[in-house]
Amino acid sequence: DDKFGSFMQQPAAPEHHSKSSGAGSSIIGILEVCESDFASNLAKEEQQEADAESVYQKITQENKITVASKEQDVKYKTQESKSLDSTVAELSSDRETTNAELSAVLEYYGKIKERCIAKPETYEVRKASREAEIEGLKKALATLNDETAFLQRKNRRHSMRGSVISVK
């Protein structure tokens, strides 16, 4: 056990050991600088995080308002679309009815037009008609001349004294 006791004994203090004075204070100074840097960086990061949170909250609120507005727009546009669809259906029906009426009127107009509107005659037809008319008038004139001559001969009156008066 003697050996063990001598092995476990405290070593003897060095003879020329002196206390170090500058090394500990410089390490503490470095640690204090690091601590102040970390504190200022932490404050900056916390401020940036608070600013980012504020911006996020603002954008989130704007997005909620925009979404609500757009949902209302969709609702109103859907109602308007349904209303316009029913109006289009009504107007299409009215148009079909009006087109049917127009077709009937145009058909009737076509029939009336054939009866009422004089169609221009060709030159040959007009010429033949005029020649026939002139020929008829010549015959009528000749007939009238013959009858007038016949009447003149037949209608001689005797006056009281026996002279003949002609009627012209």
In the DSSP assignment, the letter for residue 11 is P
User: According to the model, what pLDDT value does residue 82 have?
Assistant: 96
Poorest-pLDDT segment among 4-13, 46-55, 64-73: 4-13
**More confident position, 155 or 100:** 100
In the DSSP assignment, the letter for residue 12 is P
DSSP β-ladder status, 157-158 and 164-165:
antiparallel
User: According to the model, what pLDDT value does residue 146 have?
Assistant: 82
Model pLDDT for residues 131-141, shown as the tens digit of each residue = 999 999 999 99
Average predicted confidence (pLDDT) for the chain: 84
User: According to the model, what pLDDT value does residue 157 have?
Assistant: 53
**Mean pLDDT of the region 73-95:** 96
Q: Cα separation of 44 and 41, whole Å? A: 5
**Mean pLDDT of the region 33-62:** 96
* Banded pLDDT at 148 (limits 50, 70, 90): confident
For the entire predicted model, the pTM comes to 0.38
User: According to the model, what pLDDT value does residue 156 have?
Assistant: 54
Percentage of the residues of the chain whose pLDDT score is greater than 70: 74
Q: Write the DSSP assignment of 81-132 as a string of letters.
A: HHHHHHHHHHHHHHHHHHHHHHHHHHHHHHHHHHHHSPPPPPHHHHHHHHHH
